[in-house]
Amino acid sequence: MSISKKTFGKTSDGKPVNLYTLKNRSGAEVSITNYGGIIVTIKVPDRTGRIDDVTLGFDNLEGYLGKHPYFGAIIGRVGNRIAGGRFALNGREYTLAKNDGNNHLHGGIKGFDKVVWKAREAEAKDGTSLALTYVSTDGEEGYPGEIRVKVVYTLTRKNALRIDYSATTDRDTIINLTNHAYFNLAGDGAGDILGHELMLNAGWFLPVGHDLIPSGEILSVKNTPMDFTTATTIGARINEKHPQLQFGPGGYDHCWVLYPSPTMPSLAARVHEPVSGRVLEVYTTEPGIQLYTGNFLDGTVVGKAGKRYGKRHGFCLETEHFPDSCNKRHFPSTILRPGETYRTTTVYAFSAG
């Protein structure tokens, strides 16, 4: 097991940025930059032992400094959407940036995906770890309270990438951290992901409206194209004339309701790519998982090695509390108070067969 560090460039205001590469003895490696905590590469073997990068992104920092769809980034303070860019807490209303139509998305104009984190190598019993820390000041992007955030990435000996999130605050606030990695188990730039076989360990999902904000209902997946309780190709029903698949450019961009353990990550999803044989299993302590099928990718983003990312060339499995939880009291709470510690864990486990 090893970790190395190299210069990755500078931000527009001159802050130096590094790239850290974690490797294990099986040949797997993960590269992470402290700009946005972005996962730049995930290289894992297929059934023949061939190593490929299975996450979308850029070869250099300049790509991440420009406009892009949150490739591989830590998302916060609050991941996903907040309706109307506002929420109430302790009888006071807070106004946030509306950076997604009339809604607030992924932490705002300058969320955690666009800041430079402090980085250090950390000890791990089962692999190599990189610990990232960031202090978000009171009022940053409109959120109350100063919060101290820590995200630890660990590449294990068994080709799993574990992400441990924690945070504390000095004032009541809301928080909902996730990672926005785009996966293609056939390899970065290998085309669409419609042939990937997906199982979601979830019998319920959150229906959304035209603005992709949950209505507040929690519906059964039974007899709908949202049913992935048994392995089904992502593309099998993605173009059906179901109301939930017609918003925006069409496709999946929904949160499924999981059966989590508060202390031990539970199986949330399993994805198999039949040509390479690669398998991705997602384990989490979170109550929800957002499947996004790259609907807004349109070929204008040029990624690694000059490859253009077209519609549905990657999928995301974002573990999270439910979108817009701060405005829906019956959803799992995203409130963090002084004296409490926010903790969640997600594991992306790779194999092949």
pLDDT tens-digit profile, the chain (353 residues)? 899 999 999 999 999 999 999 999 989 999 999 999 999 999 999 999 999 999 999 999 999 999 999 999 999 999 999 999 999 999 999 999 999 999 999 999 999 999 999 999 987 888 999 999 999 999 999 999 999 999 999 999 999 999 999 999 999 999 999 999 999 999 999 999 999 999 999 999 999 999 999 999 999 999 999 999 999 999 999 999 999 999 878 999 999 999 877 779 999 999 999 999 999 999 999 999 999 999 999 999 999 999 999 999 999 999 999 999 999 999 999 999 999 999 999 999 999 98
DSSP letter at 61 equals H
Which residues partner with 288 through β-bridges?
A: 257, 320
Q: Check if 313 is active-site.
A: no
Closest C-alpha to 176, from 261, 293, 87, 100 = 87
Instruction: Enumerate residues 6+ apart whose C-beta is below 8 A from 118.
Output: 34, 132, 133, 134
The pLDDT value recorded for residue 255 is 98
List phi, psi (to 5°) of 160: -115, 145
**How far apart are alpha carbons 54 and 28 in whole angstroms?**
11
Selecting among 140, 273, 286, 318, the annotated active-site residue is 318
**How far apart are alpha carbons 226 and 205 in whole angstroms?**
8
**How far apart are alpha carbons 277 and 48 in whole angstroms?**
9
Q: 258 near 202, Cβ under 8 Å? A: yes
Q: 193 near 176, Cβ under 8 Å? A: no
**How far apart are alpha carbons 183 and 204 in whole angstroms?**
23
Selecting among 180, 196, 254, 321, the annotated active-site residue is 180
Q: Check if 196 is active-site.
A: no
**How far apart are alpha carbons 22 and 28 in whole angstroms?**
8
